[in-house]
Every structure is written in structure tokens, then in C-alpha cells.
């Protein structure tokens, strides 16, 4: 088997975003496109000869083809071993766990997360480092720089490797190990949570539904819920991963997980509902006719953490992304532990967890996890909730309401305006920035502006600075509006408007979030000139 060195010319758009490089499938299928990016990664990480990698993806269209290319390139670039999930499948948290458990040099995760798949859909690739987490910015920036001056890539001339049987194959000098993608992960979950208590709960007639959205968590959820926890067959719906996710948008929120939402708010609703996204790192938690806001979910998990055996010793600290509500901060204060505020994206949590400063982390974007891996973890959050319900023996809604009564409620919502013309979105952000010096001290209805800034973060562990992480309008009473452009979209620009207000008074906690935030929503429109600048009357998605 010969190593071929292929001459290539750089693409100028291989800049990794919030979570790896995401592009439409036809972009990735251009000759040399995938190869160039993978070579740029291999050049930057400079793994010692014989190093081992994890490789797998969410099963979306182009997953298998990309895996074959990457295997042959890994062999030609001196890797000694690659662990691939059977069928090319590895959820993002499972990949993170495999890297950590087997002490691998790193891993490549093929996914565009919650973005739709199929021949015209999205594809993505992300490099994770040896701690199991997404590569930090200095690595992704170096990869981008390398991609711009790449002249050749290396690939082994060889037949495709079968991915469907567990076992080992040689590819040149490299060993390909096809592994069970589920077993290690399911064992990890069983070590963290009280499976016995959840099993008992399920025997009492407690009914749950898990919607895998035809994405990667299907096999994991079947093994864990229907296998190890004894939930009845059919508890997991849409459990077979499909290359196009059955035509759906595998994003677990009130808009895209509509079938689950309809069932959970319907006449014969189960007690508990949950869903995960394309690559298994997001989660949505629902009680009977009740939606748990992801920011609240983080706070509740933190407040109840010691109910789960894996967290019985308490938490070292909590971290949340800046746009995530401050509900978790209140819990941290009560527990007497630190709460860190990081930029959007999981990569910022890695250093804090590696340094032992943080145990649980979360983002408002339906992402929650802990230091058991270095990614967010959808099924972990679902199991944590089941563990809490099994121990407290209360409905989800009652648990959340009791939390609000104790800590106050952080009303929270995110309004997304998707596929905006890039110029309009950039213009809106610039306009806001320009207006910032004049806003402090001004009053809008019952809100007075205290401070406006462009969020910047200095990593407390390595001192690296990340700027331009979102425009914040902070009000005197702790309420805030944050404007941010998405770093994961593949079509035009997506504007995210994050809205938060704090309500200590329990008699107001029953309000609908959109109603409670109505005045802030209007102020956001006024400050940004949103309607005039984008022509949009309403958000594309409200979460």
C-alpha cells in the first residue's frame, strides 16, 4: 500500500466556528476539500508517530465516506491506531469518553450537531484534544492558518475498511479498531447515576418518552433506557439514526422536537419527556405539560447534584456560558462554590475542568454536562433528571417550582433570527456597538441601562483572551439583553437575542416567559433597529 502525496491548492474558507468546521455537504464534497482540512489538522497537532485517535460521527450523510478518507490519511500521516465506532457512529460525548478512557492523542468527530443533514444538508468536522474536549482557539486558529497555505496532503492508496464488524483491520502500518460505540459510554453513565432508583421509579408506572430524532442517540438510548433501566420497548422513539434524520431538524427544542412536545402537552402526557440532537450532546427536558428551560436545568442539576452517586461528594464549581441565565450563579452562591462565566461554546470549559475548578457546566442552548467528559452530554442530563425525580419522587414541574420559590426565577428566552443577509446582521451589530457609549444612564420603561460592553474573557487557567463574544446591555436590576451572531450557521448570518430578567416574588413565577420578558423584547427591538434593518417581524425560533 503506497502513500500518495497529492498536490492541492488552499481553500480560503476553512475557518472553524463555535464548534469545528461546518459547511454544506456539496462544499465538503468538492475535490480535496475534506482532505485539505484534515491535513491542516494533522500538520498542526503534529502527533508523535504511532499516536492513536478516536473517529466517529453522528451518522449523517457523508459520514461513512469521510471516515474512509480520514482513515487513509491517518495511516499516511503516521498514526498507529484509530478507534472507530461501529458503522462510523460515535456520539460527541461518547467520542470524548473514548479519547479519555483509552488515553488517546485526540479524536475527530464528524457532525454538524443539530443542523439538518442529507445531500444538500450540513456536514462538519471537529478535532478534540487528548482531554476529550474540543480543541482550544489557539489550535483552531492555527488549523485555519495552515489551511490557507497548504500545498499537499498525504493519503494511503488502499481499499475501504469495513466499519460494520467489531474487530481489527490493518491499514498500511496502522491498526483500525472498530469498537462498540455504546458500551463504554453506557458503563460510564451507570457509574454516575443511581440506575437502581430509576429502575424502581419506572416500575411504579412512571412513564417516559425519549425522542432520538433519528439521530445518533437512538442506539445509546435504547441500550440505557430500554436495556439497562428496563423501560418498556417503545420508550425511545425515532431511534434509528438516518443519514438525513428523517428529513427533520435534529435540534431538541420546542420548535423542532414538535412531535414530542405535542405528546408531552397532550391529554395523555407521559410523566417525563426528553430529546437529544444530531450528535447527542444537547438535551431538552420536559415534564408533564411543562418545559424546563436549559438555564434552569443547569441550576437545578447543580442544586440537586448530591442525589446522584457520581456527585455525592459535592461540586467543585459551576461554569456557564455568558448568555446562559444567572440562575446557576444563585445556586453556586448558596453552595459556597465558584461560578465562572465563559464565552459561548464548550471549548471554554475544558481548562476549568482540567484544573479541577468546575464540575458541572451548561449553556442556554440545551447543553449541560460535567467533568465526566469534556463535551456537553445529552443523555447524561436526561439521566441526571431521572435520578433527581427518582430520589425526590416529585413531578418535574413541582421540582422546578420549588427551586424558583427558593432562589427566585430568572425569566429567560432566546430569540433567533436565522439566515439573515450577512450585511444586515453586521450592520445591526455595528449600530448597537456605536450606540453603547450613549446608553448607560438611559431609562426604558422600568429598565435603566447600567453598563454596555462587548464581552471579553480571560481564561483564568492559561490567561488567553477571547474578545468580541457578544454585545451586552446590562440593566440596573440585573436584567440583560445580549446580542450575538452565531458561529455555527452555514447560511447567511444568524442573530441571537438573549433576554433575561430576575423575579424574586413567587406570586409572579407562574407568568409565561415571553409575557414576563415582553418589555425587554421591545427594548431589544428598539435598540437594535431589528425590524427596519432585517425586515423580520418575528424570530425564526424562540427558545
- Give me 258's grid cell: 414538535
- Confirm or reject binding of residue 277 to Zn ion (CB under 5 A): yes
User: Of 300-339, which residues contact ligand G1P (CB under 6 A)?
Assistant: 321
Round to whole Å and give the CA distance between 274 and 322: 25
Decide: 165 and 73 in contact? Cβ < 8 Å: no
Number of residues that bind Zn ion (CB under 5 A): 4
Round to whole Å and give the CA distance between 54 and 49: 16
| Residue number with CB closer to Zn ion (35 or 277) | 277
The one segment of 142-150, 273-281, 349-357, 534-542 that binds Zn ion by CB under 5 A: 273-281
466 Cβ contact list (under 8 Å, min separation 6): 137, 343, 348, 456, 457, 459
Binding-site partner at residue 486 among ligand G1P, Zn ion, none, CB < 5 to 8 Å by type: ligand G1P
CB-count exposure of residue 268 (10 Å: 0-12, 13-18, 19+): exposed
- Member of 35, 251, 271, 281 binding Zn ion (CB under 5 A): 281
Query: Which residues are annotated as catalytic?
Result: 113
Binding-site partner at residue 279 among ligand G1P, Zn ion, none, CB < 5 to 8 Å by type: Zn ion
Decide: 224 and 189 in contact? Cβ < 8 Å: yes
User: Of 97-126, which residues contact Zn ion (CB under 5 A)?
Assistant: 113
Decide: 279 and 245 in contact? Cβ < 8 Å: no
Binding-site partner at residue 58 among ligand G1P, Zn ion, none, CB < 5 to 8 Å by type: none
222 Cβ contact list (under 8 Å, min separation 6): 236, 239
The string of DSSP letters for 322-334 reads TTS-THHHHHHHH
How far is residue 27 from each of residues 13, 31, 34, 144, 528, measured CA to CA in Å? 10, 9, 9, 16, 33
> Least Å distance between CB 321 and Zn ion?
14
Round to whole Å and give the CA distance between 205 and 290: 19
User: Of 337-366, which residues contact ligand G1P (CB under 6 A)?
Assistant: 344-346, 363, 365
> Least Å distance between CB 133 and ligand G1P?
12
CB-count exposure of residue 408 (10 Å: 0-12, 13-18, 19+): middle
| Residue number with CB closer to ligand G1P (218 or 367) | 367
Within 10 Å of residue 430's Cβ, how many Cβ atoms? 10
Binding-site partner at residue 250 among ligand G1P, Zn ion, none, CB < 5 to 8 Å by type: none
| Residue number with CB closer to Zn ion (123 or 411) | 123
Angle at CA 246, nearest 5°, toward 242 and 250? 85
> Least Å distance between CB 28 and ligand G1P?
18
| Residue number with CB closer to Zn ion (279 or 459) | 279
User: Of 10-29, which residues contact ligand G1P (CB under 6 A)?
Assistant: 18-19
| Residue number with CB closer to ligand G1P (325 or 486) | 486
- Confirm or reject binding of residue 113 to ligand G1P (CB under 6 A): yes
Round to whole Å and give the CA distance between 115 and 216: 13
> Least Å distance between CB 146 and ligand G1P?
23
> Nearest CA to 432 among 324, 325, 526?
526
> Least Å distance between CB 44 and ligand G1P?
21
Binding characters for ligand G1P, 476-495, by CB under 6 A (x = yes): ----------xxx-------
| Residue number with CB closer to ligand G1P (238 or 321) | 321
Binding-site partner at residue 488 among Zn ion, ligand G1P, none, CB < 5 to 8 Å by type: ligand G1P
Q: What is the binding site for Zn ion (CB under 5 A)?
A: 113, 277, 279, 281
Q: What is the binding site for ligand G1P (CB under 6 A)?
A: 18-19, 113, 321, 344-346, 363, 365, 367, 486-488, 496
Amino acid at each position: 500500500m503506497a502513500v500518495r502525496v497529492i498536490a492541492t491548492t488552499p481553500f480560503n474558507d476553512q475557518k472553524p466556528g463555535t464548534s469545528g468546521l461546518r459547511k454544506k455537504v456539496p462544499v465538503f464534497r468538492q475535490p480535496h476539500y475534506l482532505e485539505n482540512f484534515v491535513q491542516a489538522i494533522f500538520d498542526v497537532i503534529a502527533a508523535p508517530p504511532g499516536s492513536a485517535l478516536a473517529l466517529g460521527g453522528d451518522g449523517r450523510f457523508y459520514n461513512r465516506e469521510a471516515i474512509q478518507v480520514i482513515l487513509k490519511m491517518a495511516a499516511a500521516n503516521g498514526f498507529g491506531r484509530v478507534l472507530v465506532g461501529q458503522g462510523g457512529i460515535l456520539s460527541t460525548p461518547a467520542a470524548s469518553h473514548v479519547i479519555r478512557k483509552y488515553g488517546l492523542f485526540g479524536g475527530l468527530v464528524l457532525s454538524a450537531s443539530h443542523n439538518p443533514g442529507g445531500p444538500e444538508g450540513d456536514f462538519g468536522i471537529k478535532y478534540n484534544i487528548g482531554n476529550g474536549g474540543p480543541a482550544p482557539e489557539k489550535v483552531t486558529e492555527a488549523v485555519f492558518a495552515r489551511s490557507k497555505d497548504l500545498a499537499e496532503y498525504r493519503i494511503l492508496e488502499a481499499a475501504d475498511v469495513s466499519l460494520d464488524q467489531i474487530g481489527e483491520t490493518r491499514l498500511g502500518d496502522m491498526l483500525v479498531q472498530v469498537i462498540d460505540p455504546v458500551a463504554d459510554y453506557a458503563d460510564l453513565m451507570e457509574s454516575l447515576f443511581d440506575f437502581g432508583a430509576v429502575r424502581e421509579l419506572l416500575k411504579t408506572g412512571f412513564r417516559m418518552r425519549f425522542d432520538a430524532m433519528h439521530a445518533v442517540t437512538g442506539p445509546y438510548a435504547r441500550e440505557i433506557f430500554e436495556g439497562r433501566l428496563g423501560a418498556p420497548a417503545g420508550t425511545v422513539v425515532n431511534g434509528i439514526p438516518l443519514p438525513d434524520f428523517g428529513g427533520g431538524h435534529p435540534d431538541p427544542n420546542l420548535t423542532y422536537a414538535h412531535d414530542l412536545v405535542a405528546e408531552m402537552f397532550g391529554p395523555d402526557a407521559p410523566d417525563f419527556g426528553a430529546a437529544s440532537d444530531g450528535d447527542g450532546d444537547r438535551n431538552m427536558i420536559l415534564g408533564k405539560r411543562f418545559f424546563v428551560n436549559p438555564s434552569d436545568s443547569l441550576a437545578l442539576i447543580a442544586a440537586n447534584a448530591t442525589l446522584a452517586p457520581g456527585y455525592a461528594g459535592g461540586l467543585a464549581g459551576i461554569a456557564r456560558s455568558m448568555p446562559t441565565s444567572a440562575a446557576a450563579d444563585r445556586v453556586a452562591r448558596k453552595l459556597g462554590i465558584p461560578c465562572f462565566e465563559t464565552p459561548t461554546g464548550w471549548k471554554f470549559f475544558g481548562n476549568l475542568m482540567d484544573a479541577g475548578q468546575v464540575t458541572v457546566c451548561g449553556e442556554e442552548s440545551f447543553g449541560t454536562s460535567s467533568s465526566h467528559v469534556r463535551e456537553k452530554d445529552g443523555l447524561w442530563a436526561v439521566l441526571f433528571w431521572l435520578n433527581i425525580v427518582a430520589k425526590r419522587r416529585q413531578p418535574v414541574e413541582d421540582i422546578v417550582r420549588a427551586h424558583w420559590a427558593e432562589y427566585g426565577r430568572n425569566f429567560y428566552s432566546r430569540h433567533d433570527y436565522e439566515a439573515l443577509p450577512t450585511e444586515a446582521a453586521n450592520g445591526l451589530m455595528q449600530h448597537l456597538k456605536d450606540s453603547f457609549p450613549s446608553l448607560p444612564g438611559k431609562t426604558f420603561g422600568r429598565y435603566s441601562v447600567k453598563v454596555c460592553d462587548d464581552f471579553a474573557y480571560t481564561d483564568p487557567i492559561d490567561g488567553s483572551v477571547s474578545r468580541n463574544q457578544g454585545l451586552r446591555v446590562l440593566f440596573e436590576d440585573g436584567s440583560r439583553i445580549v446580542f450575538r451572531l452565531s458561529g455555527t450557521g452555514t447560511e447567511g448570518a444568524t442573530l441571537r437575542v438573549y433576554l433575561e430578567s430576575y423575579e424574586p416574588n413567587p406570586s409572579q413565577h407562574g407568568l409565561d416567559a415571553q409575557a414576563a420578558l415582553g418589555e425587554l423584547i421591545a427594548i431589544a427591538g428598539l435598540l437594535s433597529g431589528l425590524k427596519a434593518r432585517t425586515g423580520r417581524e418575528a424570530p425564526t425560533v424562540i427558545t
